[in-house]
Amino acid sequence: MTESPRAATAALYRAVWRWHFIAGLLVLPFVLILAVTGGIYLFKDEINDAAYSRLRLVEPAGAMLAPSQIAGAALAAHPGTLRAYTPPAAANRSAEVDILGADGLKTSLYVNPYSGEVLGSLWDAGASGSPAMYVVRKLHSLDYVGWLGNRLIEAAAGWMVLLVGTGLYLWWPRGRGLGTTRIKARRGRPWWRDLHAVTGLYTGAFIVFLAMTGLPWSGVWGSNFYDTANGLGLGMPEGYWSGLPVSAVPLSEAVDRAPWIIEKQPVPRSQAAPGVPRTLDEVVRTVEARGLVPGYSVSMPSGPEGVFTASVYPDDITDERVIHLDQYSGAVLYDAGFADLGTLGRWAEWGVSVHMGQEWGLINQIVLLLACLAMIGLCVSGAVMWWKRRPAGALGVPQMPTDGRIPRGLLLMAVAAGAFFPLVGLSMLGLAAVELALHLRARRRRLA
């Protein structure tokens, strides 16, 4: 017998509600991790300045010392191999010198650029700027769990997009008194339901944006996007490296923070030449003459074929730049910025910049902080609704159809989601397998 349109719509609604419920509970802890750590990391610069002001801030006092003098003062206080030099980004900022010690550990020393006084040191935390923010960043991506953590976070980000979509589907009025745009209930589970719905309605677009702009860092989706963008010529600059010989060192290992779209690409090699390598002072003069904006760092050559690499990842992403120089001749081997990237590369870089809260300053940070707080609120309200509706001694999962059929609409959604988010599709297959097993067990019990 043909199912009526009304019955089909009701079946789809129940199926979507069931999967929204199950997926929400499964990804809830990961969404909480993303929201809490992401909300903190948005203000990493402000937190670092407050926590380490004696290292990062100085009183302007006349002319600054030469880069080689600043680096020399750091090396005298902490002998080792100079790995990177970051000039003061402003008149009241210290210079940062990264030194690799004999023990194989890299240390960041902060030097007063006017007097040469070494203000103190921290173990090198890369782009995070401090050990505390390094921990927050690693927790945000679950790097401490290795490749599995990265995959779990990627799946959670994909599910976040689907949860917003299915949540809007469930919210849609359909003449049943749903679809509220404000909290109408006064207490109990209806109040939590309204809070959940209204929060998702007004912040869903921001949550989707955060999820999508975070995916470039993921292992599966991000790698596929990276390869596709560059394969189509829409990522890296055309004529990358201009036929120069390259090393086996990716850009991400040469600098603390590289443009995402080219971070996996190898750095070029210096041409073998007699004579003494170029000095740090000469390199700084060269890159500043080419218009590199303040906030940049210079990474030292790694070995006899290594290059000097000056890079900057500023708040205004249009000033993003990477310059490589031959360590012997000082010749510029590569110089490209935001405008030189392909269309997808520019969009990806802009999305990453906004995701990190740096594109529009404090407004960017506050808007995304509110989105993170909304994610926490959705997790809390969802968990409370589940707790209040669950029967004693049971999970309280919405009932599955007795005939075991999955509505065609849900199947189409699942196929589309799986094609775009591979790990979501894989987890959907796992959920479908569990659903099928539960249905078969229930049917056997009925027959018995």
Summarize pLDDT for 176-235 with one digit per residue, the tens.
Answer: 555 577 888 778 888 888 888 899 999 999 999 999 999 888 888 888 888 888 888 788
Average pLDDT value over all residues in the chain: 85
Top pLDDT among 54 and 271 is at 54
Distance of CA 337 to the CA centre of its chain: 21
Distance of CA 23 to the CA centre of its chain: 22
The string over 177-192, giving b where at least 16 C-beta atoms fall within 10 Å of a residue's C-beta and e elsewhere, is eeeeeebeeeeeeebb
Confidence of residue 292 (pLDDT cuts 50, 70, 90): very high
Angle between helices 44-51 and 131-140 (to 10 degrees): 150
Please give the structure tokens belonging to residue 259. Answer: 């443009």
CB atoms within 10 A of CB 436: 12
Would you state the pLDDT for residue 21? 84
DSSP E strand boundaries for 10-91: 81-86
274 has a pLDDT exceeding 70? no
Top pLDDT among 45 and 445 is at 45
Please give the structure tokens belonging to residue 236. Answer: 């890296």
Provide long-range contacts, Cβ within 8 A and 24+ apart, for 85-92.
85/280, 85/284, 85/297, 85/298, 85/300, 86/296, 86/297, 86/298, 87/113, 87/284, 87/294, 87/296, 88/58, 88/64, 88/113, 88/294, 89/294, 89/295, 90/294, 91/60, 92/57, 92/58, 92/59, 92/60
Averaged over 249-260, what is the pLDDT? 82
Residue 13, C-beta contacts closer than 8 angstroms, at least 6 positions apart = 169, 170
User: Which phi and psi (to 5°) does residue 310 adopt?
Assistant: -105, 130
Three-state secondary structure readout of 375-432: HHHHHHHHHHHHHHHCCCCCCCCCCCCCCCCCCHHHHHHHHHHHHHCHHHHHHHHHHH
User: Which phi and psi (to 5°) does residue 338 adopt?
Assistant: -55, -45
Closest CA to 167 of 177, 178, 176: 178
Report the distance separating Cα 435 and Cα 398, nearest Å.
12
Averaged over 347-352, what is the pLDDT? 91
Residue 6, C-beta contacts closer than 8 angstroms, at least 6 positions apart = none
295 has a pLDDT exceeding 80? yes
1 has a pLDDT exceeding 50? no
242 has a pLDDT exceeding 70? no
Is residue 16 within a helix (H) or strand (E), and if so which, with residue range? helix 5-41
Closest CA to 207 of 158, 172, 173: 158
Would you state the pLDDT for residue 25? 84
Identify whether the C-beta of residue 237 lies closer than 8 Å to the C-beta of residue 349.
no
42 has a pLDDT exceeding 50? yes
Angle between helices 147-171 and 221-231 (to 10 degrees): 90
C-alpha gyration radius of the chain: 27
Closest CA to 154 of 427, 350, 434: 427
Top pLDDT among 222 and 118 is at 118
409 has a pLDDT exceeding 90? no
Please give the structure tokens belonging to residue 335. Answer: 């110089």
pTM of the predicted model as reported, rounded to 2 decimal places: 0.86
- What's the maximum distance between 2 C-alpha atoms anywhere in the chain? 91
Please give the structure tokens belonging to residue 435. Answer: 């659903």
Report the distance separating Cα 13 and Cα 7, nearest Å.
10
Would you state the pLDDT for residue 392? 63
User: Which phi and psi (to 5°) does residue 268 adopt?
Assistant: -75, 170
With tokens 């402000």, the residue in question is 46
Angle between helices 5-41 and 408-420 (to 10 degrees): 30
Confidence of residue 15 (pLDDT cuts 50, 70, 90): confident
- For the chain, what percent of residues have pLDDT higher than 70? 88
